[in-house]
Amino acid sequence: MNLAPLEMSVPAGDGLILKGTLTYPAPYAGADFPLAILAHQYPATRDSYAPLSLDLVQSGIATLAFDERGHGASLVSPNGPLVIDTPVGLGAEAFGTAFVSSASKVGFARIDDDILRVASWGANQNFIDSTRLALVGASIGGSGVLLAAGKLPTLRAVATLGAAGAPAFGPDGPGRIRQSLEKLQMPCFLASSREDPFEAGRNVTTWSRDLTHVTGRLVPGAGHAMAIYFEVRDELLQFLRHALGVLQ
């Protein structure tokens, strides 16, 4: 039986309250578990990570999935509700319009700082080994974890699924992500579909080029972010287990 999940409530730098759920493996005497912090894609919630979270917990890795700003339960700010726009229509144009509007209104440029605050909260909870942390991000969450990674000294690994939306962190966002990866010392796993509609495939190629500590993985098709999870599942789980020192 697993421990009951812990519900997180963490203030962001601008006062918005970030909500999340920390899920533990079954406890045993003296156990301190590694922790994976999970940053989701737009427009989604922490629940989009349910398949990965279940697989990690069954592997002996605790997970902290949180609702990014303006999503799910992370809506309460000092100035009232802060809520993303969602696409009105099914095409890429509708998605792009809503994403750009949300990035400005909700402040997607703060997501990397939000991730740092969430990770710090998680690392200080009971049963967590703060020296064995990993960041996992999908789409805009993927860009966020790549920017946050260099500020967490005990980080063991970074993994992304369809990392995209980097310009939401500023015009230099894509370049800063590449620079961050060049400076990182821990192993990184960047995955995307080849025909990802939000240029995540190109990001994998560009950001991983000539970096021996970065594994780039491209799969067929145009699935975005967590849509490709089951195509890279075994490789991703093996990567995280190895990086976090979990024997299977």
pLDDT tens-place string over residues 128-172:
999 999 999 999 999 999 999 999 999 999 999 999 999 999 999
Q: Are 195 and 218 in contact (CB under 8 A)?
A: no
Look at residues 42, 163, 45 and name the one whose alpha carbon lies nearest to residue 108: 42
Determine the pLDDT at residue 30: 66
pLDDT digits (tens, 9 = 90+) for 51-84: 999 999 999 999 999 999 999 999 999 999 999 9
In a domain, 234, yes or no: yes
CA distance linking residue 155 with residue 134, whole number of Å:
6
pLDDT digits (tens, 9 = 90+) for 80-128: 999 999 999 988 899 999 999 999 999 999 999 999 999 999 999 989 9
Look at residues 189, 187, 239 and name the one whose alpha carbon lies nearest to residue 213: 187
Which domain CATH number covers 60?
Answer: 3.40.50.1820
In a domain, 114, yes or no: yes
- The CB-side HSE value for 177 (13 A sphere, CA atoms) comes to 33
Give the tokens for residue 174: 């894509």
| Count of domains observed in the chain | 1
In a domain, 1, yes or no: no
| pLDDT-derived band at 28, boundaries 50, 70, 90 | low
In a domain, 127, yes or no: yes
Phi and psi for 143 in degrees, rounded to 5? -60, -40
In a domain, 91, yes or no: yes
Determine the pLDDT at residue 161: 98
Say if strands 6-11 and 17-23 run parallel, antiparallel, or are unpaired: antiparallel
pLDDT, averaged across the chain: 95
In a domain, 219, yes or no: yes
Determine the pLDDT at residue 31: 77
Domain extent for 183: 6-243
* DSSP codes, the chain: -PPPPEEEEEE-TTSPEEEEEEE-----TT--EEEEEEE--TT--GGGGHHHHHHHHHTT-EEEEEPPTTSTTTTEETTEE------SSSSHHHHHHHHHHHIIIIIGGGHHHHHHHHHHHHHTSTTEEEEEEEEEEETHHHHHHHHHGGG-TTEEEEEEES---GGGG-TTHHHHHHHHHHH--S-EEEEEETT-TTSHHHHHHHHHTT-TTEEEEEESS---GGGGHHHHHHHHHHHHHHHTT---
In a domain, 248, yes or no: no
Determine the pLDDT at residue 1: 55
Determine the pLDDT at residue 247: 75
Q: Are 112 and 144 in contact (CB under 8 A)?
A: yes
SS (H, E, C) 127-181: CEEEEEEEEEEECHHHHHHHHHHHHCCCEEEEEEECCCCHHHHCCCHHHHHHHHH
